A = this chain, B = another copy of it.
Amino acid sequence: MPLHQFFLFLAIILIAARALSETVARFGVPAVIGELLAGLLIGPSVFGWIAPDASMKLLAEIGIILLLFEVGMDTNLHRLARSGIKPYVVAFVGFVLPFVLGYAVSTMLFGLSSLTSMFIGGTLTATSIGITVRVLDDLGKRQSDEAQIIIGAAVLDDILGVLALAFLYQFAIEQEISIQSLGEVSAYIILFMILAPVFGKLIAVLIDHLDQRASTPGLLLTMALSVTLLFSWLAHAVDAPEIMGGFAAGIAFSQHFGFKLPFFKTNSTLFKPSPKLAHRLEEQMRPLIHTFAPLFFVMVGISLNFSEINWSSSSVWALAGTLLLCAIVGKLAAGFFINEPRANQIAIGLSMIPRGEVGLIFAQLGFTQGILSGELYAALLIVIALTTMAPPFVLKAFYNKYRQTQ
- Which residues of chain A have a CB within 8 Å of any CB of chain B? 3-8, 10-11, 14-15, 17-18, 21-22, 25-26, 31, 54-55, 57-58, 61, 65, 210, 214-219, 221-223, 225-227, 229-230, 232-233, 236-237, 242, 245, 284-288, 290-291, 294
CB distance from A217 to the nearest CB of B (A): 7
Contact status A216-B287, CB under 8 Å: no
Partner of A222, one of B57, B226, B291: B291
List of B residues within 8 angstroms of A54 by Cβ: 55
User: With contacts A22-B216, A55-B55, A216-B22 known, is A230 near B8, CB below 8 A?
Assistant: yes
**A25 CA to B222 CA in the complex, in Å?**
17
List of B residues within 8 angstroms of A229 by Cβ: 7-8, 10-11, 14
- Copy number in this complex? 2
Partner of A291, one of B225, B233, B294: B225
Closest to A2 in B: B236
CB distance from A392 to the nearest CB of B (A): 14
List of B residues within 8 angstroms of A8 by Cβ: 229-230, 233
Q: A7-B65, A25-B215 are in contact. List 10 more A-B contacts (CB 8 A).
A: A4-B236, A4-B242, A7-B232, A8-B230, A18-B226, A25-B216, A31-B215, A221-B290, A222-B294, A286-B287
**A225 CA to B292 CA in the complex, in Å?**
11
Contact status A223-B284, CB under 8 Å: no
**A8 CA to B230 CA in the complex, in Å?**
6
Partner of A242, one of B3, B11, B216, B285: B3
Contact status A290-B217, CB under 8 Å: yes
CB distance from A268 to the nearest CB of B (A): 29
User: With contacts A58-B55, A287-B285, A294-B222 known, is A230 near B3, CB below 8 A?
Assistant: no
> Which of A14, A214, A219, A227: most chain B CB closer than 10 A?
A14
List of B residues within 8 angstroms of A221 by Cβ: 287, 290-291
CB distance from A237 to the nearest CB of B (A): 7
List of B residues within 8 angstroms of A17 by Cβ: 222
**A284 CA to B285 CA in the complex, in Å?**
10
Which 9 pairs from chain A and chain B are nearest by CB? Answer: A218-B290, A4-B236, A25-B215, A11-B229, A8-B233, A7-B229, A11-B226, A55-B55, A14-B226
9 contacts between A and B (CB under 8 A): A5-B233, A7-B232, A11-B230, A14-B223, A14-B225, A15-B223, A22-B214, A217-B286, A222-B294
Partner of A3, one of B219, B236, B291: B236
Contact status B288-A223, CB under 8 Å: no
Contact status A18-B223, CB under 8 Å: yes
